[in-house]
C-alpha cells in the first residue's frame, strides 16, 4: 500500500551549490524546481498528502542575506507556479506561523491557497516558519483559551483534541518522512504527528532528488511492518494514524 501522507525535510540545497562553486541561493533555487517536480511525482503515484519543510522557525538564524533571498524565491515560486499546480490538481496549504513572514510573502501564499483551493488530487502542505514545538504550543494555547472561556472542560482534553488544533488538523499523520542530505535528525518537524512515522534518510542532496528516489523511499515504507507499539498481527495497511 502507498503512504497516504509523506513529509519531506528538503536538506542539502546550500551544500549542493557550494560543491559547484555557486552561492547558496543557487541551490535553493534549484531546490524549488525539484519541489514542484516532487509534488507532481507524488500526485502521479497516488499520494494524497505531501508536506514540504520549506522554512523552519530555526532558519531565521541563517545570514540575513540568505533569509531575504529565500523569501524572494518563495514569492517568485508561488506567484509563477500556483496556476499550473492548480491545473495539476494540487491544493496548497501553508502551515506555520505567518505573523513573522514578510508581508509580500504572506500575500502571495494566501493568493496561492485561493488559486489552488479546488485541487482534489493531492494536498500539499508547505511548512513556512514552521516548527513542531511551535505547532504544539499553538494548539495548547488554543485549548487553554477554550478552557478559560468555558467552551470546553479540562476533562475534554486528550490526544484527539490536541490533534484537532494542530496545523495539519483533519489530515492523516505522515506515514513516511523522507530526509535528504544524510542527516538523521528530525529537526523539529511535525513532532506530534511523526510519533509513528517511518523515517527514511537519504544521502542525496535535495536538488538531486528525482522521482526514482521517491519510489525508493516508498518501497522502503512498503517493506516495513507497522505495529504502533503492539505485536504484529498482519500486513500493514499503509495508511497511518488519523490526526
Q: How confident is the model over 161-183, as pLDDT tens digits?
A: 999 999 999 999 999 999 999 99
Share of the chain above pLDDT 90, in %: 91
Instruction: List phi, psi (to 5°) of 21.
Output: 70, 25
Q: How confident is the model over 109-162, as pLDDT tens digits?
A: 999 999 999 999 999 999 999 999 999 999 999 999 999 999 999 999 999 999
Q: Where are the chain's structural domains?
A: 5-222
Q: How confident is the model over 13-36, as pLDDT tens digits?
A: 999 999 999 999 999 999 999 999
User: Mean pLDDT in the chain?
Assistant: 94
More confident residue, 56 or 242: 56
Does the pLDDT at position 236 exceed 80? no
82: its cell numbers: 500556483
Q: Write down the CATH number for the domain with range 5-222.
A: 3.40.1180.10
Alpha-carbon distance 175 to 173, whole Å? 6
The pLDDT, as a whole number, for residue 103 is 96
- Which residues make beta-bridge pairs with 93? 125
14: its cell numbers: 546550500
Task: With cut-offs at 50, 70 and 90, classify the pLDDT of residue 233.
Answer: very low
Q: What is the DSSP letter of 242?
A: B
Does the pLDDT at position 239 exceed 80? no
The pLDDT, as a whole number, for residue 229 is 61
Beta strand 122-130 pairing with 176-179 = unpaired
**Residues annotated as part of the active site:** 11, 59
Contact 193, 170 (CB under 8 A): no
The pLDDT, as a whole number, for residue 230 is 60
Per 3-state DSSP, the chain is made up of helix, strand and coil in percentages (nearest 5) of: 50, 15, 35
The pLDDT, as a whole number, for residue 240 is 42
CA separation (Å) from 135 to 57, 120, 159, 185, 208?
11, 25, 14, 18, 30
The pLDDT, as a whole number, for residue 242 is 39
Amino acid at each position: 500500500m502507498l503512504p497516504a501522507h509523506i513529509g519531506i525535510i528538503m536538506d542539502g540545497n546550500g551544500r549542493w551549490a557550494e560543491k559547484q562553486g555557486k552561492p547558496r541561493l543557487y541551490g535553493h533555487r534549484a531546490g524549488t524546481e525539484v519541489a514542484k517536480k516532487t509534488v507532481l511525482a507524488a500526485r502521479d503515484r497516488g499520494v494524497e498528502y505531501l508536506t514540504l519543510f520549506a522554512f523552519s522557525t530555526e532558519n531565521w538564524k541563517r545570514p540575513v542575506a540568505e533569509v531575504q533571498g529565500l523569501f524572494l524565491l518563495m514569492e517568485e515560486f508561488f506567484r509563477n507556479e500556483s496556476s499550473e499546480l492548480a491545473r495539476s490538481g494540487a491544493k496548497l496549504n501553508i502551515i506555520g506561523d505567518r505573523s513573522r513572514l514578510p508581508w509580500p510573502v504572506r500575500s502571495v501564499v494566501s493568493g496561492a491557497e485561493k488559486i489552488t483551493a479546488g485541487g482534489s488530487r493531492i494536498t500539499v502542505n508547505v511548512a513556512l516558519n514552521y516548527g513542531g514545538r511551535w505547532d504544539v504550543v499553538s494548539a495548547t494555547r488554543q485549548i487553554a483559551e477554550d478552557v478559560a472561556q468555558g467552551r470546553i472542560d479540562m476533562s475534554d482534553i486528550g490526544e484527539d483534541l490536541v490533534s484537532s488544533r494542530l496545523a495539519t488538523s483533519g489530515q492523516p499523520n505522515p506515514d513516511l518522512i523522507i530526509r535528504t542530505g544524510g542527516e538523521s535528525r528530525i529537526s523539529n518537524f511535525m513532532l506530534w504527528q511523526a510519533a509513528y512515522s517511518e523515517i527514511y534518510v537519504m544521502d542525496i542532496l535535495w536538488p538531486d532528488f528525482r522521482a526514482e528516489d521517491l519510489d525508493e523511499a516508498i518501497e522502503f515504507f512498503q517493506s516495513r511492518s507497522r505495529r504502533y507499539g503492539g505485536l504484529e498481527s498482519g500486513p500493514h495497511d499503509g495508511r497511518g494514524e488519523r490526526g
